[in-house]
Protein backbone atom coordinates (compact mmCIF):
# COMPACT_ATOMS: atom_id res chain seq x y z
CA UNK A 1 0.00 0.00 0.00
CA UNK A 2 1.44 3.36 -1.04
CA UNK A 3 -0.60 5.44 1.36
CA UNK A 4 0.69 6.46 4.75
CA UNK A 5 -0.99 4.70 7.66
CA UNK A 6 -3.48 6.71 9.68
CA UNK A 7 -2.27 6.93 13.30
CA UNK A 8 -3.87 4.86 16.07
CA UNK A 9 -5.29 6.46 19.24
CA UNK A 10 -6.38 4.83 22.50
CA UNK A 11 -9.77 6.01 23.76
CA UNK A 12 -10.67 6.61 27.42
CA UNK A 13 -14.19 7.56 28.48
CA UNK A 14 -15.55 9.04 31.71
CA UNK A 15 -18.98 7.46 31.95
CA UNK A 16 -20.37 9.77 34.63
CA UNK A 17 -19.20 12.81 36.54
CA UNK A 18 -17.13 11.59 39.45
CA UNK A 19 -15.92 8.41 37.73
CA UNK A 20 -12.41 7.89 36.34
CA UNK A 21 -11.75 7.77 32.60
CA UNK A 22 -11.66 4.16 31.51
CA UNK A 23 -10.01 2.59 28.47
CA UNK A 24 -12.60 1.38 25.97
CA UNK A 25 -10.80 0.74 22.67
CA UNK A 26 -9.02 2.57 19.90
CA UNK A 27 -9.64 4.56 16.72
CA UNK A 28 -7.61 5.59 13.70
CA UNK A 29 -7.47 9.30 12.92
CA UNK A 30 -5.11 11.74 11.22
CA UNK A 31 -4.96 14.17 14.16
CA UNK A 32 -6.18 14.68 17.71
CA UNK A 33 -9.27 16.65 16.71
CA UNK A 34 -10.49 13.96 14.32
CA UNK A 35 -9.55 11.30 16.86
CA UNK A 36 -11.90 12.91 19.40
CA UNK A 37 -14.73 13.10 16.86
CA UNK A 38 -14.22 9.51 15.74
CA UNK A 39 -14.09 8.34 19.38
CA UNK A 40 -17.37 10.14 20.07
CA UNK A 41 -19.06 8.49 17.06
CA UNK A 42 -17.68 5.01 17.69
CA UNK A 43 -17.86 4.72 21.48
CA UNK A 44 -20.61 7.08 22.71
CA UNK A 45 -23.67 6.61 20.49
CA UNK A 46 -25.96 6.08 23.48
CA UNK A 47 -24.80 8.55 26.08
CA UNK A 48 -22.00 6.34 27.38
CA UNK A 49 -19.82 9.27 28.35
CA UNK A 50 -19.46 12.82 29.59
CA UNK A 51 -15.78 13.20 28.68
CA UNK A 52 -13.32 11.55 26.29
CA UNK A 53 -9.51 11.35 26.30
CA UNK A 54 -7.61 10.21 23.22
CA UNK A 55 -3.93 9.35 23.53
CA UNK A 56 -1.57 8.35 20.69
CA UNK A 57 -1.15 4.58 21.10
CA UNK A 58 2.58 5.01 20.55
CA UNK A 59 2.74 7.18 23.70
CA UNK A 60 1.62 4.36 26.01
CA UNK A 61 4.33 2.65 28.02
CA UNK A 62 3.25 -0.70 29.43
CA UNK A 63 4.76 -3.09 31.95
CA UNK A 64 5.83 -6.48 30.61
CA UNK A 65 3.30 -9.19 31.52
CA UNK A 66 6.03 -11.87 31.63
CA UNK A 67 7.78 -9.83 34.35
CA UNK A 68 4.67 -9.39 36.42
CA UNK A 69 5.86 -11.59 39.28
CA UNK A 70 9.06 -9.57 39.73
CA UNK A 71 7.25 -6.31 39.17
CA UNK A 72 4.51 -6.83 41.73
CA UNK A 73 6.09 -9.30 44.17
CA UNK A 74 7.24 -6.61 46.66
CA UNK A 75 3.64 -5.72 47.51
CA UNK A 76 2.55 -9.31 48.10
CA UNK A 77 4.85 -9.80 51.11
CA UNK A 78 3.97 -6.52 52.86
CA UNK A 79 0.85 -7.62 54.65
CA UNK A 80 1.43 -4.95 57.32
CA UNK A 81 0.17 -2.43 54.75
CA UNK A 82 -3.37 -3.75 55.21
CA UNK A 83 -5.63 -2.66 58.09
CA UNK A 84 -6.51 -6.25 58.98
CA UNK A 85 -2.87 -6.83 60.02
CA UNK A 86 -3.49 -4.86 63.23
CA UNK A 87 -5.55 -6.21 66.08
CA UNK A 88 -7.85 -3.79 67.86
CA UNK A 89 -9.94 -5.00 70.85
CA UNK A 90 -13.65 -5.29 70.09
CA UNK A 91 -14.51 -2.90 72.95
CA UNK A 92 -12.88 -0.07 71.02
CA UNK A 93 -15.59 -0.37 68.38
CA UNK A 94 -15.32 0.25 64.68
CA UNK A 95 -11.99 1.60 63.50
Partner 1 sequence: MYTQALNARDASDERSEDAALLAAFQARVDAEEKIEPNDWMPEAYRKTLVRQISQHAHSEIVGMLPEGNWISRAPTLKRKAALLAKVQDEGGHGLYLYSAAETLGVSREELTEQLLSGKAKYSSIFNYPTLTWADIGAIGWLVDGAAIMNQIPLCRCSFGPYSRAMIRVCKEESFHQRQGYELLLEMCRSSEEQKAMVQDALNRWWWPSLMMFGPSDTDSKHSAQSMAWKIKRFTNDELRQKFVDATVPQAHYLGLTLPDPDLKFNEETGHWEYGEIDWEEFSRVVAGNGPCNRERLAARRKAWDEGAWVREAALAHAEKRRNRREAARIAAE
Contact footprint for partner 1 (CB under 8 A): 1, 3-6, 8, 24-31, 34, 41-43, 45-46, 62, 64-66
- Give the residue with the Cβ less far from partner 1, 16 or 82: 16
Cα separation of 76 and 92, whole Å?
A: 29
Least gap, CB of 3 to partner 1 (angstroms)? 7
The CB-of-90 to partner 1 minimum distance in angstroms stands at: 38
Cα separation, 76 vs 63, in Å, equals: 17
- Min. distance of Cβ 79 from partner 1 in angstroms? 24
Residues in Cβ contact with 32 at an 8 Å cutoff, skipping those fewer than 6 apart: 9, 54
Amino acid sequence: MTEKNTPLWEVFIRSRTGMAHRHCGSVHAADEEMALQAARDVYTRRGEGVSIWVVPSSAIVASDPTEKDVMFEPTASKIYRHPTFYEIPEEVGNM
